[in-house]
Structure 1
Amino acid sequence: MVTTPDTTVVEEPRPSGPEGDALLEVSGLRKHFPVTRGAVVKRQVGAVKAVDGVDFTVRTGQTLGLVGESGCGKTTTGRMITRLLEPTDGRIVFQGRDITHVSQGAMRPLRRDIQMIFQDPYSSLNPRKTVGSIVGAPFHLQKVATEAGVKKAVQDLLDVVGLNPEHYNRYPHEFSGGQRQRIGIARTLALRPKLIVADEPVSALDVSIQAQVVNLLEDLQDEFDLTYVVIAHDLSVVRHISDQVGVMYLGKMVELGDNESLYSGPMHPYTVALLSAVPVPDPSVRGGRERIRLQGDVPSPLNPPPACRFHTRCWKAQEVCGQVEPPMVELRPGHQVACHFPENAPADAENRVAKAAGIA
């Protein structure tokens, strides 16, 4: 267990919904990066559809895990949620307020409530700054006072994330990768945010250190009533920490469901293929499991396949998959999938999808 630091932030009370209420609602979220041509007169000749219509809801105190191959749009989605990137289209609603296109000035106070843990602990910390300066920066930038001073607040935060408070005057190069990530987590916690977007928080760390950081994130969630959006490649990490899991492919959400339902009965062929590649420590289980190897490379987001974007690599694809985009349909309670021919689904699943797509 972690211990809440004695030093508390002195600030005006901020509204907080009851546990289980929707804290973050994302609908129709898109990010298209224009592709231009011409040295003098530039004209747009296309667009990289990094995220192309994503919908999900994250409830207070819960964790949403976003998984998928590199280039599927996970990180871009996370950066739009934190407004580090401007969305092309769609809506981002945080605590009932639409923050999709609020100005940077209006977003500034909201950054107390929405923070991000970055993927690379080596490049996310300024090598010229001490740990005390890095972790204490949010207090100065947001002009937030503390009861016992910023130094004491920073030392308490270092203690909370498992570092020695005496490290206050050290520099990032004096720490290991796992310790640097803990420094980044301490900085994220400084102003007691409500929502934290963790972008591949353990991918750059050794396996043993990964477990420590994941356990730390879980403890901090309980201690500070945090809500997470965790972006990861490793489905084992997502399974351990998430309440809800969203699977993305080429800018689209292809499956979204609660943790237990998705891992015990994945319905989208892409999810089935991803889970077949997850290492299993039990030899008896591993020996009887079939590994699904996807054919071909991930298509370019500059020119994605029509209709179902996965149909060019799917072993279940039929003609309709390349003609009609499958809608997200709830086939089990709290479990949605976008596939014309889902696996592990109810007997009438294909008819329900066809009806929703308007082809039944």
Structure 2
Amino acid sequence: MSEPLLSVQGLEKHFPVTKGLLQRQVAAVKAVDGVSFEVRKGETLGLVGESGCGKTTTGRLITRLIEPTGGKIVFEGNDITHMSQGKMRPLRRDVQMIFQDPYSSLNPRHTVGAIVGAPFRIQGIKTEQGVKKAVQDILELVGLNPEHYNRYPHEFSGGQRQRIGIARTLALKPKLIIADEPVSALDVSIQAQVVNLLEDLQNELDLTYVVIAHDLSVVRHISDRVAVMYLGKLVELADRKSLYESPMHPYTNALLSAVPIPDPKRRVERERIRLQGDVPSPLNPPPACRFHTRCWKAQEICKTVEPPLQKLAPGHEVACHFPENAPAAAAEAAPAAV
């Protein structure tokens, strides 16, 4: 099997909390706390979880928009964890990000041509037929009219603005794209168009995606594998079919029980799992299993021993002492393996 395009090992990001005139650190917000996963060339990894679980922070760490506190980020076999900004500049051609809000991610004072053409100017790249022709070709690729080159962002709808953002991301033909909630700010009718566009571009340009989302319906449609985050940690990682048909972690089961079902009969028959209480603060997360304060299966071991992320089925990893839907032998061995 080929080496992964991206490998994240024990990734951490702790934001310091300071106090007093001297700004002395008194605590830390553990936004990302020991996350590990791999992404292979051409695949799509979905990263899901409730708001505040650390998904977006993980994406920004991978693209080095923020500095990690600990762990390792390896891209194409090169450790980029603490690479200097000067050395990161050429690498940014290969690693790009689609931002969540198409309204705030585009400079309203710049034309579409200037926005999409910015990567060429920043990287000092020249094209055979000029930057304008290259930008117009990219606009056409994402479903926009090349004549929109001289228009401004306020002249476009939300879906069109997101296409402009995607066009800017594609300008330098990246290998890896981190898509941070790429459709959450759009109308439902437009969401499907953008998701289909991302899939078409992946097939046409051989792209690799990490798609960050809280909408499990979108993730199911576009992802090959899915990683579930809770309070800064991965609690389940599996291929799409396995995770949606046989989720093992109680938290994943709760998330899936909230996904809308178009069939009225199945919707009535399905048991809705309602989690009690709010997500604990990452400033002071619960000890051991961080989900135990809201879990209906929690026992004493969940409060004292942190469950490791371990493989309980082919391609299916879960961090739980008492997993659901697991093969009998694996489920029996899970608590003892801690």
Q: TM-score, normalised by structure 2?
A: 0.99
For structure 2, which runs of at least 5 residues remain unmatched after alignment? Answer: none
Matches within 5 A, 1:134-145: 134-145=115-126
* Whole-angstrom distance in 1 between the partners of 2:337 and 2:290: 18
Q: Secondary structure at the match of 1:348?
A: helix
Superimposed CA distance per residue, residues 172-228 of structure 1 (whole angstroms, 9 cap, x where no aligned partner): 000000000000000000000000000000000000100000000000000100000
* Whole-angstrom distance in 2 between the partners of 1:116 and 1:53: 22
Query: CA offset at residue 36 of structure 1?
Result: 0.5
Matches within 5 A, 1:154-169: 154-169=135-150
Alignment-derived partner of residue 103 in structure 1: 84
Matches within 5 A, 1:62-77: 62-77=43-58
Aligned partner (choices 283, 286, 289) of residue 264 of structure 2: 283
For structure 1, which runs of at least 5 residues remain unmatched after alignment? Answer: 1-17
Superimposed CA distance per residue, residues 83-139 of structure 1 (whole angstroms, 9 cap, x where no aligned partner): 001000000000000000000000000000000000000000000000000000000
Q: Secondary structure at the match of 1:185?
A: helix
State whether structure 2 residue 165 is matched by structure 1 residue 184: yes
Query: CA offset at residue 278 of structure 1?
Result: 0.1
Amino acid at match of 2:333: R
Q: Secondary structure at the match of 1:159?
A: helix
Query: CA offset at residue 356 of structure 1?
Result: 2.5
Query: CA offset at residue 58 of structure 1?
Result: 0.2
Aligned partner (choices 276, 286, 290) of residue 295 of structure 1: 276
State whether structure 2 residue 225 is matched by structure 1 residue 244: yes
Aligned partner (choices 205, 210, 214) of residue 186 of structure 2: 205
* Whole-angstrom distance in 2 between the partners of 1:51 and 1:264: 27
* Whole-angstrom distance in 2 between the partners of 1:269 and 1:68: 13
Query: CA offset at residue 287 of structure 1?
Result: 1.4
Contact 1:80–1:87 (CA<8 Å) still a contact in 2? Answer: yes
Give the % identical residues. 79
Amino acid at match of 1:129: H
Amino acid at match of 1:268: H
Matches within 5 A, 1:221-232: 221-232=202-213
* Whole-angstrom distance in 2 between the partners of 1:237 and 1:31: 27
* Whole-angstrom distance in 2 between the partners of 1:52 and 1:298: 16
Contact 1:129–1:171 (CA<8 Å) still a contact in 2? Answer: yes
Amino acid at match of 1:83: R
Aligned partner (choices 235, 238, 243) of residue 262 of structure 1: 243
Alignment-derived partner of residue 14 in structure 1: none
Contact 1:327–1:353 (CA<8 Å) still a contact in 2? Answer: no
Q: Secondary structure at the match of 1:84?
A: coil
Query: CA offset at residue 46 of structure 1?
Result: 0.4
State whether structure 2 residue 68 is matched by structure 1 residue 94: no
Alignment-derived partner of residue 11 in structure 2: 29
Query: CA offset at residue 352 of structure 1?
Result: 2.4
Query: CA offset at residue 42 of structure 1?
Result: 1.7
Matches within 5 A, 1:114-125: 114-125=95-106
* Whole-angstrom distance in 1 between the partners of 2:205 and 2:139: 15
State whether structure 2 residue 197 is matched by structure 1 residue 216: yes
Query: CA offset at residue 347 of structure 1?
Result: 1.0
Alignment-derived partner of residue 15 in structure 1: none
Contact 2:201–2:207 (CA<8 Å) still a contact in 1? Answer: yes
Amino acid at match of 1:215: N
Query: CA offset at residue 349 of structure 1?
Result: 2.7
* Whole-angstrom distance in 1 between the partners of 2:315 and 2:126: 43
* Whole-angstrom distance in 1 between the partners of 2:3 and 2:197: 24
Contact 1:341–1:350 (CA<8 Å) still a contact in 2? Answer: yes
Contact 2:322–2:335 (CA<8 Å) still a contact in 1? Answer: no
Contact 1:117–1:188 (CA<8 Å) still a contact in 2? Answer: yes
* Whole-angstrom distance in 2 between the partners of 1:349 and 1:340: 11
Aligned residues, how many? 338
* Whole-angstrom distance in 1 between the partners of 2:10 and 2:273: 31
* Whole-angstrom distance in 2 between the partners of 1:58 and 1:321: 30
Amino acid at match of 1:26: V
Alignment-derived partner of residue 310 in structure 1: 291
* Whole-angstrom distance in 2 between the partners of 1:21 and 1:192: 21
Contact 1:342–1:349 (CA<8 Å) still a contact in 2? Answer: no
Query: CA offset at residue 82 of structure 1?
Result: 0.2
Q: TM-score, normalised by structure 1?
A: 0.93
Superimposed CA distance per residue, residues 279-327 of structure 1 (whole angstroms, 9 cap, x where no aligned partner): 0011121111011000000000000000000000000001110000000
Superimposed CA distance per residue, residues 318-339 of structure 1 (whole angstroms, 9 cap, x where no aligned partner): 1110000000110010000000
Contact 1:75–1:199 (CA<8 Å) still a contact in 2? Answer: yes
* Whole-angstrom distance in 1 between the partners of 2:128 and 2:332: 62
TM superposition outliers: structure 1 runs of 4+ over 4 Å: none
Q: Secondary structure at the match of 1:309?
A: coil
Aligned partner (choices 112, 116, 130) of residue 111 of structure 2: 130
